[in-house]
Amino acid sequence: MIVAYSFSKNMGLYNKRVGGLHIVTSSQEIATKPLSNLKIVIRTFILVLLLLEGELQVEFGFMRSITRNVLKN
């Protein structure tokens, strides 16, 4: 059984989301497969966020340098 819940409407401050995911299995052996898959999904999600953050920082840095040059001239 999988139960997911989200408090994004009630507790979502500053675009952050709060929630949880519960997976109930009948044995420990069965629980290892979903846990392994969840770890892969979470690691991929975090990696994508880090890559996007780096790209945004580069883009903002580039825009700042253009703005400085325009304001100087």
Give the containing element (helix H, strand E) for 20. Answer: strand 19-23
The amino acid at 35:
L
**Mean pLDDT of residues grouped by 10 in the chain (73 residues)?**
76 64 89 89 82 68 65 66
Total domains in the fold of the chain: 1
CA 22/CA 35 separation, integer angstroms? 11
DSSP sequence for 22-70: EE--SSHHHHHHHHHHHHHHHHHHHHHHHHHHHHHHHHHHHHHHHHHHH
Domain residues for 57? 2-72
pTM for this model (two decimals): 0.53
Q: Give the pair of three-digit tokens for residue 4.
A: 């997911």
